[in-house]
Amino acid sequence: MLSLNINIFLMNYKILLTLIIISFSQVAESNPDPNEVLKKTVITPIAWDITDSLYHIPAYDKYCGFDQKSIWGFKIDQTKTKDTSHIKLLHDSCDFHSPWTGRITSSYGWRKNRPHYGVDIKLNTGDSVKSAFEGMIRVSKYSKSYGNVIVVRHQNGLETLYAHLSKRTVKAGQIVETGQTIGLGGNTGRSFGSHLHFETRYLGEPINPMDVFEITDTTFKVHKKNLDLTADNFAFVKEVRRIKYHRVRSGDSLWRISRRYDVTINKLCRINKLNRKKSLRIGQKIRYN
């Protein structure tokens, strides 16, 4: 397995050093003055081209890049796709390792009227969280919602996300092996109690982890060696995107919002879990369908 952070750097460093020595020697033979030698020695930096990226970065061709800043990254709408994506999950049993096995505290789908794009698994702060498959770290950062979060890009195009960690032990661009510890369990970000928030994505779109894995309070394993993805696997995402919101402005009230969108106040209160007597906040998002 090639290492992007170490092996490639060392290889390029050796090549660059060799070129410098050769260049230096050639100039020195024709001009014995050391100062003149240094002036005429030109160091050309070595940079990756598209071929290097296609070779070294997992699924670079599918994503047309490797965004190391955005947690969600590059997206291709999968809710309207008519094709089936055939994904090889396992070549051998050692190609997968459970990130963590524990009691499931929250599943994929709606949670308190909000979309929840992963599964939450109970653990203790400091417990080791493993990479499910080998791959390359696309994101390793802190965010207000996910806390310490890591996103791993895998060779088959899948990405796995691990959130609310107390500590990250890998950096963006790093190659990781199956079962390698990438962080420690925690309770960072928008979280209540130590747990692992685990997501599975394809081309930037979330998939129910249960479509890929068998996850119970005592089990975390791959369903089968191959995964076929269709638009049906992204039905929840499609449902979420149908929902529309109104952002509260000065002078707004439940009555005005209900009149504007032709929806009853009772429904607004029910789907947003609002109290009729409680004032709205400017900037607050109110779902109206």
Please provide the DSSP assignment of 252-287 as one string: --HHHHHHHHT--HHHHHHHHT--TTSPPPTT-EEE
Domain count, the chain: 3
268 and 157 both lie in a single domain: no
pLDDT tens digits for range 128-183: 999 999 999 999 999 999 999 999 999 999 999 999 999 999 999 999 999 999 99
91 and 232 both lie in a single domain: yes
Which domain does 46 fall in, by range?
A: 7-62
Confidence of residue 33 (pLDDT cuts 50, 70, 90): low
> The CATH number of the domain where 165 resides is what?
2.70.70.10
Backbone angles phi, psi at 94, to 5 degrees: -80, 5
CA 256 to chain centre: 39
Paired strand residues for 161: 151, 199
103 and 231 both lie in a single domain: yes
Do residues 134 and 117 make contact, with C-beta atoms less than 8 angstroms apart?
no
Average pLDDT over residues 114-138: 97
Do residues 185 and 127 make contact, with C-beta atoms less than 8 angstroms apart?
yes
CA distance 76 to 204: 7
95 and 221 both lie in a single domain: yes
Instruction: Give the amino acid at 282.
Output: I
Residue 47 lies in a domain: yes
pLDDT tens digits for range 195-218: 999 999 999 999 999 999 999 999
